[in-house]
């Protein structure tokens, strides 16, 4: 009886801390997985690898021993720097997906079930960036597949688009426990991966949904109410030229505040216009 109460109190405590899902039956060595994926991201193309191996007669890189001791989490500055380096080494979306899946510098990965990268068409002219996976996205491993995602699909359909015509991703590839807001540290650690993803997809138009994505990618302090409906040039130091970026309300906000759909409709019409006719009026 007393033991039951203790277990109940412990479960309550976990639930309040945002732990609301069982993750795995057995412990996983995510550090080992991380190192292996970084090696994958840095691995040369097969022909180059074969030539190098033949030249040096060295064995191909091996996975770390399964009983290798877990490395401690990197300090945030180092994690951001290492994300930067790893992302910059990726020359294809596949490499980036492998590298993010293996990266262990962000503690969110330890509580998430899936690494959620992108969905849709990597050749699309329009790329949408949200905040972070929710519970359904974490379960399915795809962005925007829960209630907010269904509304996003309807918003896209309103201007004649669907997931085959856009590429969808998030600021963070891992669900924050209990859907809490991402911290500045988590955003800074994951942003190099997102920026590399934008460089590799190279869309013509970037749509940032919600204040978190808008502020982080536009480097602005204003909230979404001020930022939405405007167009900004977005670029990274590695890009030649810039991408036209705009922001609008997050569909999760629209589910709570349907009166904001009027503004979003205007934003969608402006996006449709730029899709069809090119430059936005700045």
Q: Which positions lie near ligand URA, rule CB under 6 A?
A: 130-134, 137, 143-144, 146, 148-149, 170, 252
Q: How far is the CB of 168 from ligand URA (least distance, A)?
A: 8
Q: Which of 166, 104, 162, 174 has the alpha carbon at shortest distance from 138?
A: 174
Alpha helices, H only, 219-282: 224-227, 251-256, 261-277
Q: Which of 277, 114, 80, 61 has the alpha carbon at shortest distance from 193?
A: 80
Q: Are 167 and 208 in contact (CB under 8 A)?
A: no
Q: How far is the CB of 172 from ligand URA (least distance, A)?
A: 9
**What strand order describes the sheet that includes 118-120?**
118-120, 166-170, 126-130, 205-209, 243-248, 231-234
Length reported for the chain: 282
- Which DSSP string corresponds to 208-225? EESHHHHHHHHT--S-HH
Q: How far apart, in whole angstroms, are the C-alpha atoms of residue 106 and residue 83? A: 10
Q: How far is the CB of 108 from ligand URA (least distance, A)?
A: 13
Q: How far apart, in whole angstroms, are the C-alpha atoms of residue 162 and residue 245? A: 19
Of the pair 32, 246, the CB lying nearest ligand URA is at: 246
Of the pair 169, 230, the CB lying nearest ligand URA is at: 169
Q: Strand, coil or helix: what is 158?
A: helix
Q: Are 207 and 231 in contact (CB under 8 A)?
A: no
Q: How far is the CB of 208 from ligand URA (least distance, A)?
A: 10
Q: How far is the CB of 180 from ligand URA (least distance, A)?
A: 13
What is the number of the residue whose Cβ is closest to ligand URA?
A: 130
Of the pair 86, 142, the CB lying nearest ligand URA is at: 142
Of the pair 161, 171, the CB lying nearest ligand URA is at: 171
Q: How far is the CB of 5 from ligand URA (least distance, A)?
A: 36
Of the pair 41, 115, the CB lying nearest ligand URA is at: 115
Q: How far is the CB of 132 from ligand URA (least distance, A)?
A: 6
Of the pair 130, 203, the CB lying nearest ligand URA is at: 130
Q: Count Cβ atoms within 10 A of the Cβ of residue 118 and give its class: 0-12 exposed, 13-18 middle, 19 or more buried.
A: buried
Of the pair 41, 155, the CB lying nearest ligand URA is at: 155
Of the pair 32, 176, the CB lying nearest ligand URA is at: 176
Q: Strand, coil or helix: what is 52?
A: helix
Q: How far is the CB of 253 from ligand URA (least distance, A)?
A: 10
């Amino acid at each position: 009886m007393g033991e039951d109460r203790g277990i109940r109190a412990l479960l309550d405590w976990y639930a309040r801390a945002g732990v609301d899902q069982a993750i795995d039956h057995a412990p996983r060595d995510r550090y080992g997985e991380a190192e292996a994926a970084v090696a994958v991201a840095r691995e040369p193309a097969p022909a180059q690898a074969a030539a190098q191996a033949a030249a040096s007669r060295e064995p191909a890189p091996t996975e770390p021993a399964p009983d290798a001791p877990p490395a401690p989490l990197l300090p945030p500055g180092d994690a951001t720097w290492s994300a930067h380096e790893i992302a910059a080494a990726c020359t294809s979306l596949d490499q980036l997906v492998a590298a993010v899946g293996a990266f262990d510098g962000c503690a969110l990965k330890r509580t998430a079930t899936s690494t959620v990268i992108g969905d849709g068409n990597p050749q699309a002219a329009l790329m949408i960036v949200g905040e972070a996976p929710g519970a359904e996205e974490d379960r399915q491993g795809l962005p925007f597949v829960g209630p907010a995602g269904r509304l996003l699909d309807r918003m896209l359909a309103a201007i004649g688009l669907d997931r085959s015509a856009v590429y969808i991703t998030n600021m963070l590839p891992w669900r924050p426990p209990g859907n809490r807001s991402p911290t500045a540290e988590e955003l800074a650690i994951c942003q190099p991966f997102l920026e590399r993803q934008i460089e590799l997809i190279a869309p013509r138009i970037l749509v940032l949904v919600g204040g978190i994505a808008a502020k982080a990618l536009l480097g602005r302090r204003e909230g979404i109410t001020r930022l939405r409906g405007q167009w900004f040039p977005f670029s990274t130091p590695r890009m030649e030229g810039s991408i036209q970026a705009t922001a609008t309300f997050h569909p999760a906000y629209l589910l709570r505040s349907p009166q904001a759909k009027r503004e979003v409709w205007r934003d969608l019409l402006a996006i449709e216009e730029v899709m069809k006719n090119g430059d936005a009026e700045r």
